[in-house]
Amino acid sequence: MSQTFGDRIFRWMDDHFVGREFELEYFRQRLAQLDERDERILNVYGTAGMGKTYLLERFARIAGELGAFYARADVRDALNRRERLLSSLLEQMEPTPSTLPISSSPSPSLSLSPPEGLPASALQLQERCLQALNRIAEGRRVVLAFDGYEEIGGLDHWLRTSFLPGLSGNVLVMISGRFPLEGPWRHTPAWRKLIVRLPLAELSYGDIRTYLRQWGVDDEKEADAVWLRTMGHPLALSLLTPDNRETANAANAPNAANAPNAANAPNAANSANAANAASASAAAAAGRLRPPNAAAAEEEDPLQALLDDWLREAPDDELRRLLFAASAVRTFHQDLLSKLMGAEVPSTLFQRLTDLSFVSRTANGWQLQELVWETVRRHFRERMPDTYAAYRDRAAEHYLAKLEEGLAQGRDIVWEFGELLRYADNPVLRAHYRHARTSRNYLEPLGEANLEEAQAYVRRRQKQEESWKVLCSDAESGELYRFELSADLGRARLNLIPLGELAKTGEESVRLLRSPEGRVVGLFAIVPVNGRTYDWLSKSPVSRAYIASLSAEERSRIRTSSSDTEIRFVYVLDVESLEREELRSDIVHALLEPILAGRLLIESPPPHDYYRLGKTSLGFEPLPGAEHADYGGDRPATTYALDTRREKLRDLLRRMVRVPGTAAAPARPNAVQGRNELTPREREVAELLVLGLTNAEIAGKIYVSEAAVKKHVNAMLSKYGLKNRTQLANHLINS
């Protein structure tokens, strides 16, 4: 017997389903152990394209495997009519609706809360539906799913007060929509006890790699571009996937999750993915994978349909203008949006904005879902560049003012500084902070009680150390940064961590980074440079080169100091995986604290572009005479310094971010003028090349790799038909 369409669709769905282990296993256990728990409603929610409908399809398969009956109603098809919703459920039951008897006694729902104004025919239909469901539930478990719940409208009250209370306790209800259940669902303790939330978020990088391989895309750099372009958004991924199979449009898109550590109910956002046949067709129209920002240059952006879907939630011009303003900043509140727009934002309008499915509340305000934020912001920047630039400048002014205010008051301004970094002129800094993630990890001082744990962490890291790949990109410039860090480089660093000596430098110097579950996931050591630590620092690998580079007077001052010198040596900032974005965020925040406290920071990381670009983008500068070979290998390690003492911190902030109204920096001598045939990046390289800088020095100035500089130099040699750098420099100066 030949395969049916349904057989083929299910096979394709299985073939391209990745991840989602947490949600699937959670549903399986909850259904199997229904009698052991009070919760009876699983609330699946997430913005457009997160895979809610596809997830329900997978739940239906699991329900069938466990012998449960599964019925699903799409609220959107009901058109706000109870009869249509009830009929769609009855059509899925056995026996057929026409043969279902009507009980002589009313169901519990009718006795609890008779629906007001319900016609007799509708009342009879509701009774018939409840009897059918409860009859099935006498012999086996039942899963009742309502999809598209954002369209429930006036039926919400009826469903909550009349229909659901009449269901058997052997029924598990799924409610899926763009929004979490709110209002009476949350405010009434009884309902709150019945509900478990399953929020859906983006795919992990590993899930994307797995999915693309299933479509025949195994090129790592191409996968990197997709990851950075989509930020893990499931439907966006499907729209950027080439359709190279004759009938693959019938298959739904992938599904995946970053499963959180949760014992009972999930509280953190998990990943999901889905797409329908229309999105698969759009993928075929796209024709190929696109690098970050490439789609913006195309006449038809494959993500335009997704943007249109989001914007349907903001149909009027007034709300869309406010949405565009919100996209100019990462975190917003009503006062900030009023400041950006130059007019008071009404509370009712702000409430409409925060009610959108892709807006979520954070500790410091509200945020747009990440891909929504970047897509709407790009749309705003392209359509209204002058207005966007004005909003961006006002946002930068706002955070600069907040930092000045915080410095004057002596309060913690780490969060404000992090927000300001999003407006940095440096693309590397913007790229790194684009991927900053809120972390629930916490720091704990190192002492005798946890020294053994710290030692165990270092041993575990030495044994398990592996190669890492770090990806980041800048959405505004389109620059993509890809760093490969070898396992040998990691081990060389770990081998130079003298925990016993570090523990003697003071509890506040060395701290363990713990996960929310208490597991050690990192080790940070930022050591005061003073009379107590001088001897050890002058002899220890990594730090001794810095001490040796000081003048005799400086060494004497440090060695004899009895008070704080305001100098800190960043000895190690180690986490168990640089590929995890929240751990990289923990490192950045560990550095921001001493930077904002006003210190002279010294650091000598392993010789690698990842560390070099990270240091120089934050304002660190190479320290002459402090190079060393303590990490081994052929390439010497550089020691970097960043001075934020007193007014130097304010100078650093103003250098990092373009301050509106500030005069432009004077042109460099012999700057290349009028070279329209050069790209903007080639012009940057050319201006430094004519000053006599080497490729490595140019790379450090413009925050790119040495290989990238070489590529730009070769491109210019080809354009002008020249043979070497000397000819190129003379041509650029004299033409």
Higher-pLDDT residue of 582, 144: 144
CB 527 within 8 Å of CB 569: yes
Predicted confidence band at 440 (pLDDT cuts at 50, 70, 90)?
confident
Q: Is residue 159 part of a domain?
A: yes
DSSP labels, 177-224: ESS---THHHHSHHHHHHEEEEEEEPPPHHHHHHHHHHTT---HHHHH
Q: Is residue 499 part of a domain?
A: yes
pLDDT for residue 177 is more than 90: no
Q: Is residue 264 part of a domain?
A: no
Higher-pLDDT residue of 656, 392: 392
Structure tokens given for 234: 């499931």
Q: Checking DSSP bridges between strand 142-147 and strand 69-74, what pairing results, if any?
A: parallel
Q: What is the DSSP letter of 99?
A: G
User: Do 469 and 586 fall into the same domain?
Assistant: yes
Q: Which long-range contacts (CB under 8 A, 24 or more apart) does 348-357 make?
A: 349/318, 349/319, 349/322, 350/322, 352/319, 353/314, 353/319, 353/322, 353/323, 353/326, 356/313, 356/314, 356/323, 357/45, 357/46, 357/47, 357/48, 357/150, 357/178, 357/179, 357/313
Higher-pLDDT residue of 222, 498: 498
Torsion angle, alpha carbons of 602, 604, 609, 615, to 10: -10
Can you tell me the mean pLDDT for 500-506?
80
User: Do 450 and 546 fall into the same domain?
Assistant: yes
The pLDDT of residue 301: 61
The pLDDT of residue 182: 85
Predicted confidence band at 19 (pLDDT cuts at 50, 70, 90)?
low
Residues in the chain: 735
CATH number, domain of 533, equals 3.40.630.30
Which whole-number Å values give the CA distances from 188 to 114, 160, 173, 197, in the listed order?
20, 11, 18, 16
Helices and strands, counts by H and E, the chain: 36, 17
What mean pLDDT is reported for the chain? 79
pLDDT for residue 566 is more than 70: yes
CATH number, domain of 385, equals 1.10.10
Element housing 27 (H / E): helix 21-32
User: Do 63 and 162 fall into the same domain?
Assistant: yes
Q: Is residue 292 part of a domain?
A: no
User: Do 509 and 652 fall into the same domain?
Assistant: yes
Burial code (b: 16+ CB inside 10 Å, e: under 16) for 569-598 equals bbbbbbbbebbbbbbbbbbbbbbbebbbee
Structure tokens given for 712: 């730009």
Query: How remote is the C-alpha of 322 from its chain's centroid?
Result: 23
Assign 469 to helix, strand or coil.
strand
Assign 643 to helix, strand or coil.
strand
Burial of 237 (0-12, 13-18, 19+ CB in 10 A): buried
CB 142 within 8 Å of CB 169: no
Comparing 312-321, 376-385, 419-428, the range with the smallest average pLDDT is 419-428
Higher-pLDDT residue of 124, 146: 146
pLDDT for residue 384 is more than 80: yes
pLDDT digits (tens, 9 = 90+) for 447-467: 888 999 999 999 999 888 788
Structural domain span for residue 726: 680-734
Number of domains making up the chain: 4
Closest CA relative to residue 586, chosen from 472, 416, 439, 431: 439
CATH number, domain of 685, equals 1.10.10.10
pLDDT for residue 1 is more than 60: no
CB 462 within 8 Å of CB 489: no
Can you tell me the mean pLDDT for 649-660?
78
Which residues fall within 8 angstroms of residue 611, CB to CB, at 6 or more apart? 605
Q: Whose structure tokens read 């809360």?
A: 113
* Domain end marker among 186, 201, 216: 201
User: Do 480 and 505 fall into the same domain?
Assistant: yes
User: Do 481 and 623 fall into the same domain?
Assistant: yes
What whole-number percentage of the chain has pLDDT above 90? 29
User: Do 402 and 461 fall into the same domain?
Assistant: no
Closest CA relative to residue 95, chosen from 63, 132, 124: 132
User: Do 173 and 74 fall into the same domain?
Assistant: yes
| Overall pTM surpassing 0.85 (yes/no) | no
User: Do 65 and 145 fall into the same domain?
Assistant: yes
Q: Is residue 14 part of a domain?
A: no
Q: Checking DSSP bridges between strand 365-368 and strand 442-445, what pairing results, if any?
A: unpaired
Can you tell me the mean pLDDT for 131-154?
90
CB 196 within 8 Å of CB 30: yes
CB 513 within 8 Å of CB 524: yes
The pLDDT of residue 112: 33
* Domain end marker among 154, 172, 201: 201
The pLDDT of residue 663: 41
CB 698 within 8 Å of CB 664: no
* Domain end marker among 399, 423, 447: 423
User: Do 153 and 113 fall into the same domain?
Assistant: yes
Q: Is residue 473 part of a domain?
A: yes
pLDDT digits (tens, 9 = 90+) for 186-195: 888 888 888 9
Angle at 544 between CA 543 and CA 549, to 5 degrees: 105
Q: Whose structure tokens read 């025919």?
A: 121
User: Do 484 and 417 fall into the same domain?
Assistant: no
Higher-pLDDT residue of 161, 306: 161
CATH number, domain of 115, equals 3.40.50.300
The pLDDT of residue 91: 87
- For residues 254 and 51, what is the distance between their CA atoms, to the nearest angstrom? 8
User: Do 383 and 448 fall into the same domain?
Assistant: no
Q: Is residue 496 part of a domain?
A: yes
Q: Is residue 664 part of a domain?
A: no
- For residues 242 and 247, what is the distance between their CA atoms, to the nearest angstrom? 13
